[in-house]
Chain A
Amino acid sequence: MHPAGAARLATAAVGLAHLFAWVAFLMMLGTGPENRVRDLDLFPLVQIGEVGVSFMLRWDPLSQLMLMVVTGVSFLIHLYSIRYMDGDDRYPYFFADMNLFVFAMLLLVLAGNFLLLFAGWELVGLCSYLLIGFYSAKPVAAAAGLKAFVVSRIGDAGFILAILMLAGGLGTLDYTGVFSGAPFVFLRDSGSALVLTLLLFCGAMGKSAQFPLHVWLPDAMEGPTPVSALIHAATMVTAGVYMVCRCHTLFEMAPSVLQFVAWTGAFTAVFAGSIALAQRDLKRILAYSTVSQLGLMFMAAGVGAYSAAMFHLFTHAFFKALLFLGAGAVMHALAGELDVWRMGGLARPLRWTFWTFLAGALALAGAPLTAGFFSKDRILFSAFMAQPNGRALWLMGLIASLLTGLYIFRAVWLVFAGKPRVKRVHEPHDAPALMRWPLAILAVLSLGAGLLWLPGNWTRFAPLGGFLEPVLGRGEPYAPPGREAAIMAFAVAAFLAGLGMAWGMYRKGAVLVKSLGGRIKPLYRLLLNKYWIDEVYRAFIVKPLFRTASSMEEGIDRDAFDGTAEGLAGSALDYSGSGRRYQTGHAGHYALAMALGAAGMAVLVFIVQTWVLP
């Protein structure tokens, strides 16, 4: 197919899907909040024992929200990619893969039972693998794709076990059946509830790159930038959060696991944020940022604030996609340069990119009144008010916010401010129109989307929260009026602190860093090398597994199997060799053989007749 045609077709398809999403949204608004949860059973799929699974879709506010986000952001990214990916000889394949991904993601969010959920889950994993390894000529890219797939597979193993537990314990995989029946089968705080939810979260950890399964996401940046924007920022990685929110009924049966979720999220948020501080690669900074923000979402889910987690997912999709597309524009202008220490002074030539990127950065860091501010504030507030250990979680969230501000403005400064640190061959040019408009739209959304859920102490205007209520429950803790304001103040303080530190450290060519660099060199190296986790994994997990596999291949595959097969073949040949000498070809010999045989039979008959029978 003609490349341009392919791109247009793909984009139009996604655009159409987004249109339908709006139609569905309006239809949903038309019905009262009580009947917004609908199941659509299309046709039966499989029947295993007494568990019957059909192609069932669920349409409710949660899936509707995801629908809007996925199709909307995807559409913008498609538009962007038409221009960004232009010139690549696998241009149509790219769009085909992207659309397959969108399909899979929609399947995931619209699934009405766990089987379809898992099907979508696996399919997005596949598309991620394919798209990360898009530049297949680069071995790094292929390896990264493989790493993504394998690591998330570890999580998927847990997920599968959880699904099996559900099927076995409840006899059904439909959401309705599971969520209503589970509390009776998996009793609150029982061992089975713990195991089930832990396994489910395992899957979420793999897909959403939480510690310790976070290692694949930074490597996934080897894929094209639109892929990073769509899959590894806005949609696929959020599937874990979506799943946890979707299954919140199940998680509520094991409060200790919810605690674990919250703490994992909080820890990951801080951990990833710290790594982002030292990275040189612009996309990797953003990748670690994504991991960190996902951590915040899980922290929210862990304290029961599912709507808050989804709110942050919603806003994060906008500003993170924006940041990635902006990074793409920078790369586009600088012919693929990614190292921030080789950038600088791009604010003037890349005006559009700079302003939109700045908008995204502000939203990410939680600058007041941006979308990120409202969603993050909701999370921090919910964490603070949570019962066991809420304050500690809140503190970690705050630290993460500080780090966020620090790393993102570091990036902004190093990329856009000051003078170019490396001699440029030709003047960088700003993004072309088709890339600009998605950036602009996302910037507007990043700044304005927060208005959909204003904090309780300002006004009662919270349509988003109300919208999600039928599915996720209110989860809005009561607080004395001053409390919320105080927490907000802390959040703003964290933002300003991060901004200020970044400004101090990195303006004017980062003199301060160079001088500080000497003293904090070891710390810097630790962060730059991501705490050496990849190396640890390689030494303690990958290498031993590899060795086991190859020794097994030698011992079992080669010696046992092949040896047996060859041995059998060899002995067959030997036997036939010795047997062949009887086939002389002389009819006389054969006749003799027959005669001797007949004689033998006769003797036998005689013996039987005389001695055996009587």
Chain B
Amino acid sequence: MTIGLLHLLAFWMFASGVAGVVLRRNPLAVFMSIELMMNAANLLIVLASGGAGMESAATQGLSAVFILIALGAAEVAVGLAVMMAMFRDGKGASLDRVTTLRG
């Protein structure tokens, strides 16, 4: 299998992100794990772009990554704002308490 070290890193980051999302109680920590996952994806795209070898394909990949980074920032901003609102309402310090969907 042709997997390089960097690809392995990307998968590693992604898996850690998943673990963080599933396991952490604090919503902020969860968020950070999500950010990890996003970056893992970005890394993969970058690797894929370079590996293609064709000028135009690589450019496309990198443009996508550019936009994706911006997207990630926007998402974090909004998410944090939501989280602030949650904290202010008295919930959300622990994700354990968010069980409205229980059924």
Contact = CB atoms under 8 A, between A and B. Distances in A.
User: Are chains A and B touching in the complex at the 8 Å CB cutoff?
Assistant: yes
Given A595-B18, A595-B21, A595-B22, A588 B102 contact: no
A592 to B, nearest CB: 4
A595 B20 CA distance: 12
B103 A583 contact: yes
Nearest to A592: B22
B95 A588 contact: yes
B23 interface: yes
Nearest to A590: B101
A335 interface: no
A584 B102 contact: yes
B78 interface: no
A585 B95 contact: no
Given A591-B22, A595-B21, A586 B95 contact: yes
Interface string A569-605: 0000000000010011111111110010000000000
B22 A583 contact: no
B103 A585 contact: yes
A199 to B, nearest CB: 63
Contacts of B95: 586-588
Nearest to A580: B103
Nearest to A582: B103
> What interface size band does chain B fall in?
10 to 19
A585 B102 contact: yes
Interface string B81-92: 000000000000
B99 A584 contact: yes
B98 interface: yes
A160 B12 CA distance: 82
Interface residues of A, number: 12
Interface in B1-47: 18, 21-24, 30
Nearest to A591: B21
Interface in B41-99: 95-96, 98-99
A585 B99 contact: yes
B18 A586 contact: no
Contact of B100 (A580, A585, A588, A592): A585
B82 to A, nearest CB: 13
A589 B22 CA distance: 6
Contacts of B22: 588-589, 591-592, 595
Interface in A392-443: none
A583 B23 contact: no
Contacts of A584: 99, 102
Contacts of A588: 21-24, 30, 95
A588 B96 CA distance: 9
B88 to A, nearest CB: 19
Nearest to B95: A587
A586 B96 contact: yes
A584 B101 CA distance: 7
Nearest to B33: A591
Nearest to B103: A583
Nearest to A576: B103
Contacts of B103: 580, 583, 585
B21 A583 contact: no
Which of A580, A588, A589 counts the most B-chain CB atoms under 10 A from its CB? A588
A583 B101 contact: yes
A583 B102 contact: yes
Contacts of B98: 585-587
Contacts of B100: 585
Contacts of A591: 18, 21-22
Contacts of A586: 95-96, 98-99
A590 B23 CA distance: 11
5 contacts: A583-B102, A585-B101, A586-B98, A591-B22, A592-B18
- Which 6 A-B pairs give the minimum distances between C-beta atoms? A585-B102, A585-B99, A592-B22, A595-B18, A583-B103, A591-B21
Interface of A: 580, 583-592, 595
Given A586-B96, A588-B95, 16 more contacts: A580-B103, A583-B101, A583-B102, A584-B99, A584-B102, A585-B99, A585-B102, A586-B95, A586-B98, A587-B95, A588-B22, A588-B30, A591-B18, A591-B22, A592-B18, A595-B22
Interface of B: 18, 21-24, 30, 95-96, 98-103
